């Protein structure tokens, strides 16, 4: 069984360093008995852009406030001498961006989605203020980033939650992107023809590679897997990963987990296959092949806009049958009684 519990604290980063530190989520994993744009880092996102006036000249010192619609997390930045602002290390979420400057009408952008490993570019043009004026714009789909050198894509939350998958192993979703396959013997990720030992996978910026065999943890042993119910989305970089990622020049899988929010949310599931639902094997024997998989996740606020809790757990139980049959023995040869007792249907389990 695998369990993930995360507690996140949202702060407003305006003055003190400790307030910014509180804004970072920390994740404590407990095991008991599981088209993107410029790279923003492992397990996080970023947003940047330029603020200009009606004549397309940079606005210096404009105030940019970025607030998560889900958790209330807030980041405040100012534009530089070129009218440019950058907010890196942002939690993956949907944001509202407010831009204001003296003598200009405040502008608000809603529905700005920041995806894992991607840097969203949001340029804002301010209008001259008349009396008291606010302009609200709903964010549109991002355009192609012509400055990005990496070849990458994102498997979003909807795909992770709704697409069918074998064994609830989220790494199989990686095959939705071109030029990626999985090894049949140990499920290692072969990215752009590279050996699976060269691939790199991180969850919330933490290494998730098998130190012995080289591919992802749980690739060789299904009992050591990460709960899919805890995965929010992930970025797949097939080539051109930046130097900050390290470890390999092959593919990189950049995973971010879910977290609590101001709304209580969760899920539960149970999958089961019994003997009555199992077809006969190649020898027309209907053996007792049982598989059960169950789990769930729940998240919500501990304190509105401040502290949140999220937990997920999954368990997979397998009973795989096999037959023991002794051939007819030569005259005078007898099979020992303790071995003969093993004849017939037997079952192996993972628990």
DSSP 177: S
Residue 93 has pLDDT above 50, yes or no: yes
Distance CA 16, CA 76 (A): 12
Please report which confidence band the pLDDT of residue 43 belongs to, taking 50, 70 and 90 as the band edges. confident
Residue 25 has pLDDT above 80, yes or no: no
Please state the φ and ψ torsions of residue 17, each to the nearest 5 degrees.
Answer: -65, -35
The percentage of the chain sitting over the pLDDT mark of 70, rounded to a whole number, equals 78
Residue 52 has pLDDT above 90, yes or no: yes
- The residue that leads in pLDDT, 206 or 139, is 206
- Mean pLDDT of the region 116-134: 84
- The residue that leads in pLDDT, 94 or 137, is 94
Residue 16 has pLDDT above 60, yes or no: no
- Mean pLDDT of the region 30-57: 71
Chain-centre distance for alpha carbon 32: 21
Are 92 and 36 in contact by the 8 Å Cβ rule? The answer is no
Please report which confidence band the pLDDT of residue 77 belongs to, taking 50, 70 and 90 as the band edges. very high
Residue 86 has pLDDT above 50, yes or no: yes
- Mean pLDDT of the region 304-333: 89
**What residues contact 238, with CB distance under 8 A and at least 6 apart?**
151, 152, 177, 178, 179, 180, 191, 192, 251
Lowest model confidence (mean pLDDT) among 222-226, 274-278, 316-320, 338-342: 222-226
The pLDDT tens digits of the residues spanning 206-235 come to 888 877 776 677 655 555 578 899 999 998
Look at residue 37 in the predicted model and tell me its pLDDT.
43
Distance CA 170, CA 174 (A): 8
Residue 128 has pLDDT above 50, yes or no: yes
Structural domains of the chain, ranges and CATH numbers in brackets: 45-138 (2.60.40.1120), 149-257 (2.170.130.10)
Please report which confidence band the pLDDT of residue 12 belongs to, taking 50, 70 and 90 as the band edges. very low
**What residues contact 247, with CB distance under 8 A and at least 6 apart?**
200, 207, 209
């Amino acid at each position: 069984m695998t369990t993930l519990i995360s507690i996140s604290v949202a702060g407003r980063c305006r003055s003190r360093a400790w307030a910014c530190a509180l804004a970072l989520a920390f994740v404590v994993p407990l095991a008991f008995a599981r088209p993107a744009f410029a790279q923003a880092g492992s397990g996080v996102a970023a947003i940047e852009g330029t603020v200009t006036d009606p004549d397309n000249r940079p606005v210096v010192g404009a105030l940019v406030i970025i607030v998560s619609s889900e958790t209330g997390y807030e980041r405040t930045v100012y534009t530089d001498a070129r009218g440019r602002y950058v907010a890196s290390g942002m939690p993956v979420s949907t944001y509202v961006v407010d831009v204001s400057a003296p003598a200009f009408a405040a502008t608000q952008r809603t529905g700005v989605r920041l995806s894992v490993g991607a840097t969203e570019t949001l340029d804002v043009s301010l209008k001259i203020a008349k009396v008291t004026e606010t302009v609200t714009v709903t964010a549109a789909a991002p355009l192609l980033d012509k400055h990005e050198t990496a070849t990458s894509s994102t498997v979003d939350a909807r795909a992770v939650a709704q697409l069918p998958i074998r064994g609830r192993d989220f790494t199989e979703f990686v095959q939705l992107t071109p030029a990626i396959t999985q090894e049949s013997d140990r499920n290692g990720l072969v990215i752009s023809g590279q050996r699976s030992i060269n691939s790199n996978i991180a969850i919330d910026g933490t290494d998730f590679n098998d130190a012995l065999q080289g591919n992802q943890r749980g690739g060789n042993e299904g009992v050591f897997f990460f709960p899919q119910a805890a995965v929010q989305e992930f970025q797949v970089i097939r080539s051109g990963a930046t130097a900050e990622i390290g470890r390999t020049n092959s593919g990189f899988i950049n995973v971010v987990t879910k977290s609590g929010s101001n709304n209580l949310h969760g899920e539960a599931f149970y999958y089961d296959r019994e003997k009555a639902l199992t077809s006969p094997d190649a020898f027309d024997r209907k053996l007792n092949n049982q598989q059960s998989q169950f789990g769930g996740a729940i998240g919500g606020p501990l304190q509105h806009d401040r502290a949140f809790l999220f937990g997920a757990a999954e368990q997979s139980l397998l009973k795989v049958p096999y037959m023991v049959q002794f051939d007819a023995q030569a005259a005078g040869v007898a099979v020992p009684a303790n071995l003969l007792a093993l004849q017939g249907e037997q079952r192996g389990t993972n628990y």
